[in-house]
Amino acid sequence: MTIGAWVRRPRWRRLVLVALAVGTPAAAAVAIRAHHWATAHVEMMTGDPRWEPNCAACHLGAGIRPTLGWHHEVRYLSPLNLAVSPDGRLLYATASESDALLVIEAGSGRRVAAIPVGSRPHGVCLSADGKTSYVTNRWSASVSVLDLERLVPLRTLAVGSGPAGLALSPDGRMLYVANSFSDDISVLELESGRELRRLLAGRRPFDVAAAPDGKRVYVTNLLSDPVPFRAPPVTELTVIDAERQVVAERVRFPNAHLMEGIALAPNRPLALATMVRPKNLLPAVQVARGWMLTNGLGLVSLDHLGSTATSPGGGAACAAVLLDQVDAFYADPCDAVFTRDGSKAYISHSGADAISVVDVSRLLALLRETPEGAARERLADDLGASRCFVTRRIPAAGCPKGLALSPDGRYVYVAAELADRILVIATDRDTVVRTIDLGGPREETLVRRGARLFHRASHTFEGQFSCRSCHPDGHVDGLSYDLEPDGLGRNLVDNRTLQGIRDTAPFKWSGVSPSLYRQCGIRFAAFITRGERFAPDDLNALVAYILSIPRIPNPNRRLDGRFTEPQERGRVLFERTMDKKGHSIPPTNRCPTCHPPALFTDKQKHDVGTGFETDTLREFDTPQLTDVALAPPYLHDGRAATLEEIWTRFGTTDRHGVVNDLSKQQLNDLIEYLSTL
Amino acid sequence: MGKARWLTAFMAASASGALALSWWSRSSGAGVAPLISVETGAVSSGLQSYLVAAVASDSSAATVLTPELAAVKDPEVSFDGQRILFAGQRAPKDTWQIWEVRHDGKRLRQRTDERFDCSEPHYLADGGFVFRGQREGSGALYTCGPEDGRVTRITFNREPLAETGVDGDGRITFSMGMKRFTVNPDGTGIALLTGLSAARDGRPLVAAPRPRPMGHTSIVDETKSTGLLFGLNAYKTDRAEGSAPPAGSLAKVRVWSALPEEHPLGDAPLEPDGSFYLEVPADTPLRLQTVTSGGEVAAEMTTWIWVRPNESRGCIGCHEERSLAPENRLPQALTKPPVALRSAS
């Protein structure tokens, strides 16, 4: 039989062959085209030709499609802060991602119990007899009171929003709680459980320390007070008169922020607070030698408070020193603890995976040798100073956060948040002598891996900062930066939150990054870290983590979901189509046109008259308005200190929404509504 | 077959496998890092130097890695411990070029083909390398890309360079005059070295893996011809207190270029806060002077610096203290456009 005859009979054979002859090249053409398209798409989204097209990596693995969000099911412990029982036998750790207080035997490392508390527990402290513990629940706006003999919850006390640090008065009668989202301090009387006072703090109050004499309570703040546009940040240490329960003083540290942890020396009137000294007013042209930010300590001479100091070394009360070295940085200092005799202090650096050991006498000697005024200001920027007083850097892997000293003073316990471990440092040798595994999940999810990259500074030149250094809690640091080489001193950008940014692409105020892969990959390495690009697998994990950062509970929303009267009046103003004179507002000038629900962004760029003399661009990415009240300052370069200033100082032309017919009261209502979004 | 016979057969197989494995690992040298040295010997045409790989415990196992070359020098081992980069001459009168060979002597290849002598090669984090090129008396540093082998000049000063190295943070270090400097692998960020340098310490070179330093993402844009240079405060110096220029005494900053020969590029005003902001020609040796309101030179740089195309460079002061981080303050000069000082050539 010839081939021709074989093909002709039977007929189906011919049809199959024809289909193959036509279909194969067509399918190949489609596949090649699809591959070309995918390659171009991946290069556009990442800006990095090293990426191979891999649909699943971005669209499934990173959880962009929540249907396969398997990584969210793994619940880590993520211990944040620690307390030690008076006999030193038991450790208590807040498991921030498992909503529990872990009780651990210090000697054996055995977990005795996990007492359920509220959402996202943060700080913990114990009564003097060790029978009761108090745990702040950052997302539940409450403090859990726990019976440590029976290992059960006793009661829950309502406080402000985002309670973080807390401290008991020495007589055990009062509890002071720093409410980090509502920017205030709850003063609780424990016997009645009543909140006696709600004191105004700085911005994002975070840690609390009570003086042993019962006279003063000190509260650190993470973010700078509002300052004029392009002025240095100034961050407050709030000092409470614990006899009258009022704010006695607001000590302001210039050029400092992220004052996270505070410790009081046991033997002298001295407080140490961790701090970051940012360089946001300089163009970010290099990282080396502390051009982006430096990590340090604020010192407060408690005897001299009262003569409020406003320069790093000015006045008698305050000084600042750096913990960094000239060619090695110790990112994200976050907690401090003194030894029993006050001779040494331990500082945890969550970004550097290290603990610095400070010789307190040498530090104080250095300050004594440095005259107040210009020399102290110089000292606050001196990267060589730490060699005079930092005696050791103890490697402490796993994002070291909260510190606690054992009652006998022999050990410092370190909560390693992202390793689910407690590290035990012997204070006589200053090394990690033991590691307590808290028994968290063994597997490393993509999101967890991303969290580790986000919090670690090792990908930045000389380890100067981590992603978290500018995005504490995945949120903003409240500063504007001059980031990219688009004209030095020009095109400033206000830091934008990472909370709840899934589905808000494009990114950056210029809208230049179509994806986080591009923003956190090539742009981040070239303009910010000045180091190496993340490897594709790492970048994928980092993006997965950032997209998983949740929005915090908005303190301005009522729990029942309904609006207050001013909020409702504001909603009507936001959605109005007619001005007060009854004229129709052009659709382009109505709020919901560019800020439509649910994210309140149309993801487009618009010129609303907010391009200023320092800007090259006129059109800016429309920001989402979710949690807008929690992220001042405003406008793309942060020149509006408050929401109101957007319209009163910078919205005189009615291009950024028609507002100039509104009364002051109506503007207040509009802002009340915006605060609920 | 009984259980015992299975066991015997299994043990025999395992033993022969282990023997084979041990023979393979010995013959391939796995697990023992050879020492690399430069040896010199007499040949008919004179002296020949060659790279030798030797295992410390076995002097008879020394291997000559470069029998084809007339002379070698400056060897360095790659981060994975597998390859050796060195300067070599094929024939005694040839120029020195950069060569690479595996530590077992295989895959000898020439990595540069320049018309000038190349020496002191060092691996860079990205897989490329930096080397010193001796061109008409004055030396410069060049990099060679990891994939395309493209050679790029990265230093543009006028003084001879020596003792190049790569630091743990990935930056290139070198000596110029009596001082030690550091520069990024793309030639940006020339600065006095502030930390300890990873200079070679004279110990024998071991072909073993070592930590790879961090890479650097470059913003150099060769299509541009200028870079930006700004100073935060010309009054800030490392001079002893009292000898620093008094506030308000300085009026201008004067920039000199060395291309084609030494000449002033121009003056730019100093702001009251001591700041200045300039746009200057890239890849050109530059020197800055501060000039008083009376026209006298108050201070000047003793070495030449440069900016790469599209680089933005900042300095804290003049002869700033090396351990000082910059003050967080908006420099007045940056509220205006840069003063453009273009090359006369």
**Average pLDDT for residues A2-31, to the nearest whole number?**
85
Half-sphere exposure of A522 toward its Cβ, with a 13 Å CA cutoff?
16
- What would the pLDDT profile of B81-98 be if each residue is shown by its tens digit? 899 999 999 988 899 999
- What would the pLDDT profile of A234-288 be if each residue is shown by its tens digit? 999 999 999 999 999 999 999 999 999 999 999 999 999 999 999 999 999 889 8
Report ipTM for this prediction: 0.85
Contacts (Cβ under 8 Å, ≥6 apart) of B330 = A230, A281, A282, A489
The token duo for A316 is 């008698």
pLDDT class of B29 with cuts at 50, 70, 90? very low
The span from the CA of A67 to the CA of A428, in Å, is: 52
Is residue A316 pLDDT above 60, yes or no?
no
pLDDT class of A347 with cuts at 50, 70, 90? very high
- What would the pLDDT profile of A603-661 be if each residue is shown by its tens digit? 899 999 888 888 888 999 999 999 999 999 999 999 999 999 999 998 888 889 888 89
Decide the pairing of beta strands A132-137 and A121-126. Answer: antiparallel
**Inter-axis angle of helices A536-548 and A446-455, to 10 degrees?**
90
* Helices and strands, number each (H, E), in chain A: 15, 32
The token duo for A461 is 């030149």
Query: For residue A320, is the peptide bond before it cis, meaning its omega torsion is within 30 degrees of 0?
Result: no
Tell which wins on pLDDT, B71 or A61.
Answer: B71
**Quick one: B180 exposed, middle or buried, by C-beta within 10 A (0-12, 13-18, 19+)?**
middle
Q: For residue B313, which residues of chain A lie inside 8 Å, CB to CB?
A: 285-286
Q: What is the pLDDT of residue B201?
A: 52
Q: What is the DSSP string of A545-587?
A: HHHHPPPPPPTTS-TTSPPPHHHHHHHHHHH-SB-TTSPBPPG
Lowest mean pLDDT among A66-75, A325-334, B267-276: A66-75
pLDDT class of A11 with cuts at 50, 70, 90? confident
Q: For residue B191, which residues of chain A lie inside 8 Å, CB to CB?
A: 288-289
Q: Which of A227, A277, A383 to mutate to test the interface with B (most CBs of B within 10 A)?
A: A383
Strand partners, B179: B176
- What would the pLDDT profile of A468-504 be if each residue is shown by its tens digit? 999 999 999 999 999 877 788 889 999 999 999 988 8
Q: What is the pLDDT of residue B18?
A: 47
Lowest mean pLDDT among A90-99, A431-440, B285-294: B285-294
Q: What is the DSSP string of B171-236?
A: -EEEEETTEEEEE-TTS---EE--S------SPPEE----PPPP-------TT--EEEEEES-TT-
Q: What is the pLDDT of residue A514?
A: 86
Contact check, Cβ <8 Å, A532/B125: yes
- What would the pLDDT profile of A121-138 be if each residue is shown by its tens digit? 999 999 999 999 999 999
- What would the pLDDT profile of B244-257 be if each residue is shown by its tens digit? 778 888 899 999 99
The token duo for A609 is 């008259």
Q: What is the pLDDT of residue B45?
A: 66
Q: For residue A527, which residues of chain B lie inside 8 Å, CB to CB?
A: 219
Q: What is the pLDDT of residue A8?
A: 73
**Is residue B326 less than 8 Å (CB to CB) from chain A?**
yes
Closest residue, chain B, to A379 (C-alpha): B324
pLDDT class of A315 with cuts at 50, 70, 90? very low
Decide the pairing of beta strands B276-281 and B339-340. Answer: parallel
Q: What is the pLDDT of residue A83?
A: 97
The span from the CA of A521 to the CA of A459, in Å, is: 11
Q: For residue B125, which residues of chain A lie inside 8 Å, CB to CB?
A: 532
What is residue B331's DSSP assignment?
-
**Is residue B196 less than 8 Å (CB to CB) from chain A?**
yes
- To the nearest whole number, what is the mean pLDDT of chain B? 82
Handedness of CA A326, A329, A335, A337 (dihedral sign): negative
Cα torsion B201, B203, B206, B211 to 10°: value is -30
Q: Which of A230, A327, A386, A522 to mutate to test the interface with B (most CBs of B within 10 A)?
A: A327
**Average pLDDT for residues A432-458, to the nearest whole number?**
93
pLDDT class of B159 with cuts at 50, 70, 90? confident
Contact check, Cβ <8 Å, B195/A522: no
Contact check, Cβ <8 Å, B323/A230: no
- What would the pLDDT profile of A168-200 be if each residue is shown by its tens digit? 999 999 999 999 999 999 999 999 999 999 999
Is residue A532 pLDDT above 80, yes or no?
yes
The span from the CA of A488 to the CA of B228, in Å, is: 8
Half-sphere exposure of A108 toward its Cβ, with a 13 Å CA cutoff?
6
The span from the CA of A508 to the CA of A526, in Å, is: 15
Tell which wins on pLDDT, A61 or A239.
Answer: A239
Q: For residue A487, which residues of chain B lie inside 8 Å, CB to CB?
A: 337
Query: For residue B260, is the peptide bond before it cis, meaning its omega torsion is within 30 degrees of 0?
Result: yes
pLDDT class of B241 with cuts at 50, 70, 90? low
Contact check, Cβ <8 Å, A327/B327: no
Q: What is the pLDDT of residue B175?
A: 87
Which residues between 470 and 509 in chain A have a beta carbon less than 8 angstroms from any beta carbon of chain B?
482, 485, 487-489
**Is residue A290 less than 8 Å (CB to CB) from chain B?**
yes
Contacts (Cβ under 8 Å, ≥6 apart) of A573 = A662, A666, A669, A670, A673
**Is residue A279 less than 8 Å (CB to CB) from chain B?**
yes
Is residue A310 pLDDT above 80, yes or no?
no
CB B164 within 8 A of CB B85: no
**Average pLDDT for residues B160-174, to the nearest whole number?**
88
CB B122 within 8 A of CB B87: no
Contact check, Cβ <8 Å, A255/B228: no
- To the nearest whole number, what is the mean pLDDT of chain A? 90
pLDDT class of B31 with cuts at 50, 70, 90? low
Contact check, Cβ <8 Å, A489/B215: no
Residue with tokens 């929303």: A557
The span from the CA of A456 to the CA of A545, in Å, is: 13
Decide the pairing of beta strands B226-231 and B312-315. Answer: parallel
Is residue A443 pLDDT above 60, yes or no?
yes
Distances in Å between the Cα of A206 and the Cα atoms of A225, A504, B241 are 14, 29, 41
The token duo for A267 is 């033997």
Q: For residue A489, which residues of chain B lie inside 8 Å, CB to CB?
A: 277, 330-331, 333-336
Q: What is the pLDDT of residue A560?
A: 86
Contacts (Cβ under 8 Å, ≥6 apart) of B64 = B50, B51, B52, B105
Beta-carbon pairs below 8 A across chains A and B: 115
The span from the CA of A61 to the CA of B138, in Å, is: 54
Handedness of CA A20, A23, A26, A28 (dihedral sign): negative
**Average pLDDT for residues B51-75, to the nearest whole number?**
79
Where helices occur in chain B by DSSP H, the ranges are 3-28
Contact check, Cβ <8 Å, A383/B324: yes
Contact check, Cβ <8 Å, A485/B335: no
